[in-house]
Structure 1
Amino acid sequence: MDMLLPIRVKKSFLELFKTLPFNHTSQQSSINLHVLNIESNQFIYDRLVDELREIIITYVHSNRRLKEFNDSHSSFSPKPYIEAVKKFRKFASNDGELGELLLYAFLESGLNAPKLLSKMELKTDANDYIKGSDGIHLLETNDSYQLIFGESKMYADLLDGARDAFDSIAEFKANGLKFERGLIDTHVMNEMVSEEGYEKIKSILLPSGNDGPDLDLSFGIFLGFELPVDNARLSMSNKDFRQWVNDYVSQNASRVINTIQRKINKLNLFGHEFHIYIVPFTNIDITRKKLIQEMLTIE
């Protein structure tokens, strides 16, 4: 099946993680549990950083801008990376952009939902604040489409992150959705590199008459949370440590299902599908800043 938009994040991104089986069903939601691979009782954060340094280029830049780079620079030019880095806030005050980047990577590599628009593309300065969703993706399912709006939270407690994510989605639906659809209409051409592609996307996003495909609005949610690792855990055998991590993540994910269902019912978020990605981190507040710092370091 030909994709209307290119998927830039390779499937190999998922190989950095162990995907845990999750047999529980959740109202209107698909829940995906990903645990970064472990070596000697430590997450392989260094390899994640290496991958993210590549991914930020396609996350930040529109397809049109990437084509301009390809047309005017050699494939070894650092310019796309340097320009991308400048759009990120300084690591010391950067609480959200790691989750936004990871959500982009999972939606593309795991769901086959290519990016339609990233808020990073709209920033003219690293300190700009662009309201609304974290990013917008387009998912083709049989003969219909989903417009996916992104929301990411990285909290120590998974339940707190889930509650806040759904509160943000309800606020966005009530007050930001019209603005967001306007952004798509205004900027979508930046993602298209052909007139034919633009017209096809336009026919999906702005259907008319009986010929247009069905379009529904859904949400992609990234939930990072803290894994309480201490010396007692670190002193476990490698096999036991991995098993403890997997069990802890699965148990927390099972608990979060009730929170999600309560929020959907309380906030009247019916009619939407939620694509949820859950990832544990050690020392989450320190780690997310450290990963951003290393990812943005121009060597």
Structure 2
Amino acid sequence: MDTPDHFITVRVHDQEISPQLVGLCVGYELGEWRAEQFADHVMEWLPEFALTQKELESIQSGNVVSLMRRAAKNVYATKKFESRGEFGELFLHAAIRQVFGSMPAISKIYYKTARNETVKGFDAVHVVDGNDGLELWLGEVKLYKDIGRAISDVVEELHAHTQRDYLRDEFLLIRGKVDDDWPHAEALKSLISPNTSLDQVFAKAVIPVLLTYDSSCVKTHDRCSQDYCEQFEAEVRKHYHNFATRNLPSLDIHLFLLPLKSKDELVGLLHQKLEAWQNL
């Protein structure tokens, strides 16, 4: 499956620690943090994030605009965008696709029963075709300004979302939403079958966690200088330590940290672009 060209720089990627750490950098242009450019890039992921497999495969010159409009409307249609989490889910989708070559199994959007409904549960359901077979990637994201609050809230959710009853309910929903035409449909359905022990599932599961926050490092620089890169790494490793020393579930967790200059500014830009696509 083709993907948009890479935009975000993976400035820190430490695979020798557990949880693994990925620090994502948006960068600067002409002295300004690239909020507008990042928002444009994020919208390039929208069709893959918000359309079904069949819709994606049907895209051609005659329907590309109508399908993009549908993808934008599938996300949400409300002015109360500041407290919604769909853009965070879109960031997580793009990050794990870019860094680990994952393949989306379903979009959380298809859990919805009505427009504008907010949905609980995992924020991404992807797979990675690894050396030992199919890995199930169940993502969590917090699109926050305060990193301390983001860490506390996501740790609480990690424990809640890895309980047996919760997982069984989630797997039932996922099985019902997987497109039978998707290449890994049967393998995924078998992995999350009620007849498969959760011990086997956990052996094949990865939990990518993406946290955003308003960053003092990003705010005090205007280019990706050596000083910036050193401060960037020091900052994300400090927040990683805060996360990693919590009481985490015994699972394979990958922490993605995405420092922002202003979460409010970025979400406002994304909302404007989403509205423009909805009104094509």
Decide whether the 8 Å contact of 2:12 with 2:21 is kept in 1.
no
1:3 is matched with none
1:258 is matched with 241
Displacement of 1:161 after TM fit? Answer: 1.5
Displacement of 1:276 after TM fit? Answer: 1.9
**CA-based RMSD:** 2.9
* Residue of 1, 8, 13 corresponding to 1:17: 8
Displacement of 1:141 after TM fit? Answer: 1.9
Decide whether the 8 Å contact of 2:209 with 2:256 is kept in 1.
yes
Q: Secondary structure at the match of 2:137?
A: strand
Q: With the length of structure 2 as denominator, give the TM-score of the two structures.
A: 0.83
Q: Secondary structure at the match of 1:116?
A: strand
1:197 to 1:225, Cα distance in 2 relative to 1, 3 A = closer
1:17 to 1:221, Cα distance in 2 relative to 1, 3 A = same
1:82 pairs with 2:73: no
Q: How many Å separate the matches in 2 of 1:25 and 1:220? A: 16
Q: Secondary structure at the match of 1:297?
A: helix
Gap runs ≥5 in structure 2: none
Q: How many Å separate the matches in 1 of 2:14 and 2:20? A: 10
* Residue of 102, 108, 113 corresponding to 2:102: 113
Decide whether the 8 Å contact of 1:8 with 1:108 is kept in 2.
no
Matched ranges for 1:119-138 at <5 A: 119-138=108-127
Matched ranges for 1:173-252 at <5 A: 173-174=162-163, 176-188=166-178, 190=179, 192-193=180-181, 198-206=185-193, 216-228=204-216, 233=220, 238=223, 242-252=225-235
Q: With the length of structure 1 as denominator, give the TM-score of the two structures.
A: 0.79
Cα deviation 1:21-60 (Å, max 9, x = unaligned):
4558432x21111111311221222222222222111101
1:43 to 1:186, Cα distance in 2 relative to 1, 3 A = same
2:33 is matched with 43
* Residue of 139, 147, 150 corresponding to 2:139: 150
1:98 is matched with 87
Matched ranges for 1:37-76 at <5 A: 37-67=27-57, 69-70=58-59, 74=61
Decide whether the 8 Å contact of 1:24 with 1:254 is kept in 2.
no
Q: How many Å separate the matches in 1 of 2:216 and 2:121? A: 32
Equivalent position amino acid for 1:61 in 2: L
Displacement of 1:111 after TM fit? Answer: 0.6
Displacement of 1:230 after TM fit? Answer: 9.5
1:287 is matched with 266
Q: How many Å separate the matches in 2 of 1:106 and 1:22? A: 12
Q: Secondary structure at the match of 2:208?
A: strand
Q: How many Å separate the matches in 2 of 1:44 and 1:130? A: 30
1:46 to 1:290, Cα distance in 2 relative to 1, 3 A = closer
Cα deviation 1:71-112 (Å, max 9, x = unaligned):
xx5356311111111122335434311111010011112111
Decide whether the 8 Å contact of 2:36 with 2:269 is kept in 1.
no
1:104 to 1:91, Cα distance in 2 relative to 1, 3 A = farther
Gap runs ≥5 in structure 1: 1-6
Identity percentage over the alignment? 18
Decide whether the 8 Å contact of 1:92 with 1:289 is kept in 2.
no
Q: How many Å separate the matches in 1 of 2:30 and 2:252? A: 38
Displacement of 1:138 after TM fit? Answer: 0.8
Decide whether the 8 Å contact of 1:52 with 1:295 is kept in 2.
no
Number of residue pairs aligned between Structure 1 and Structure 2: 271
